[in-house]
Amino acid sequence: MAVSDGAADRYARQRIIPGWDQSRLARSTAVVVGVGALGNEVAKNLALAGVGRLILCDPDVVSVSNLSRTVLLGAGDVGRPKATVAAGTLSRLVPGLVVEPRVADLASGVGLGELADADVVLSCVDTIRARMRLLGRAALIGGPLVDGGTHPYGGEVRLRLSPDEPCFGCTLSPHERGASDLPWSCFETGSASGAGSGGPQPATIATTALVASWMSILAVHLTFGERPVYRALRIDASAGRTAPVTFERDPDCPYHRPLAEPIEIVPVTARATVGEFLSVLDGADEPLTWEEFPLPRRCSGCGHFDAPADSEKTVTDGRVVPCAHCGGLIRPVLTQRIRAAGADNRLSDLGVAQEEILPVTTQGGEYSCRRLSR
């Protein structure tokens, strides 16, 4: 990476820490999912420590309520994408840092291939639904995940190094796990659909920074190839106590099955058209997206099709709209079948992330995986 690694530089005090490897940190990639308060602190810590590449994923924009807990966002940024603003601030703070904002939902913002290649993935999201989705995608690629959450006077930090280990999902009931919407059906790991958790939760910058510090320390240890002895910490600032927590693997928890091996890399990217992608598969292969996307809307009353804004596209935005002919409601048809989309649509139009790993049903009814190129 481009971050300076000279003997006399901004990292001189870190280099004298026993076991510290600044060069390894400079070559590392960290994915931060959620760039609100907790994600801001984690991204800031890792950037200042000298991580070479950061991928910041968040679909939301800056709100006024973010400003008391986010050092990377300012009052003039309200209404702008969090990931873009945070990336710009970090680039100014740390010259040479490679930082990539992804203003998108997790599944369309960071591909499974990118998650697999990252040295560490950090979950800084604020709903059970989002947390379960990231936990599930980390399990698919078998990568390490550091997950953090806060409450007014403390929080928790959880680490899972492989899908074989107990996870946050193991501590939840099936109903609570149903807050996720990752479509697991194609790997027969159980249903995961449902609504997300409630509204904003109380938080302060002090506890946010405390939890973010623990997450950042874990990330550095993982980057150095170390395996911490603990898997979860409970932080209680009121009592002045931080203690490890243990929990058991739930055999019914669906977030423990990795993708089938081997994973074949195909010579197309997420910017390829559906037709170009299908051309590198066998004719009987049935490729799927991880999440449903809408097809053209058709009125059930008169049969009229509602044309997308771009006449070259056959994928709509998923809204329910009134029929221009009869006034009835036209509802979208949702699918995961890539073949159902028009050949001229790009995979990214379907919500496919770059370097995504897509499940494919083969002619014999088996599942295999195809990874998109960078």
CATH number, position 153: 3.40.50.720
Do 167 and 70 share a domain, yes or no?
yes
Query: In the listed set 244, 278, 299, which residue is the last one of a domain according to the structure?
Result: 244
Q: Domain of 314? A: 263-372
**What pLDDT, on a 0 to 100 scale, did the predictor assign at position 306?**
59
Instruction: Show the tokens assigned to 144.
Output: 């390490």
Query: Low-confidence residues of the chain, pLDDT below 50?
Result: 1-2, 4-7, 180-198, 308-312
Contacts of the segment 226-233: beta carbons below 8 A, 24+ positions apart: 227/161, 228/159, 230/159, 231/158, 231/159, 231/160, 231/165, 231/166, 232/156, 232/157, 232/158, 232/159, 233/156, 233/157, 233/158
Burial class (CB in 10 A: 0-12, 13-18, 19+), 244: exposed
**What pLDDT, on a 0 to 100 scale, did the predictor assign at position 186?**
34
In a domain, 5, yes or no: no
| Count of the separate structural domains present in the chain | 2
Residue found by looking up tokens 């423990």 in the block: 256
CA distance 208 to 38: 6
Do 343 and 198 share a domain, yes or no?
no
Query: In the listed set 244, 274, 303, which residue is the last one of a domain according to the structure?
Result: 244
**What pLDDT, on a 0 to 100 scale, did the predictor assign at position 305?**
63
254 with 240: CB under 8 angstroms?
A: no
Do 47 and 156 share a domain, yes or no?
yes
In a domain, 205, yes or no: yes
144 with 123: CB under 8 angstroms?
A: no
Do 285 and 329 share a domain, yes or no?
yes
Please state the pTM of the whole predicted model: 0.86
In a domain, 3, yes or no: no
Do 311 and 219 share a domain, yes or no?
no
Nearest residue to 285 (alpha-carbon basis) of 336, 361, 342, 370: 361
Do 307 and 240 share a domain, yes or no?
no
Do 221 and 306 share a domain, yes or no?
no
Do 234 and 357 share a domain, yes or no?
no
**What pLDDT, on a 0 to 100 scale, did the predictor assign at position 288?**
95
**What pLDDT, on a 0 to 100 scale, did the predictor assign at position 314?**
53
CA distance 25 to 5: 10
In a domain, 83, yes or no: yes
Do 54 and 151 share a domain, yes or no?
yes
Distances (CA, A) of 216 to 55, 223, 267, 306: 15, 11, 35, 49
Do 180 and 298 share a domain, yes or no?
no
**What pLDDT, on a 0 to 100 scale, did the predictor assign at position 269?**
97
**What pLDDT, on a 0 to 100 scale, did the predictor assign at position 128?**
85
Do 275 and 234 share a domain, yes or no?
no
**What pLDDT, on a 0 to 100 scale, did the predictor assign at position 175?**
81
Do 298 and 340 share a domain, yes or no?
yes
**What pLDDT, on a 0 to 100 scale, did the predictor assign at position 173?**
86
Helix 37-49, helix 82-93: angle, nearest 10: 30
Q: Cα 288 vs. chain centroid, distance in angstroms?
A: 19
pLDDT, tens only, 17-31: 999 999 999 999 999
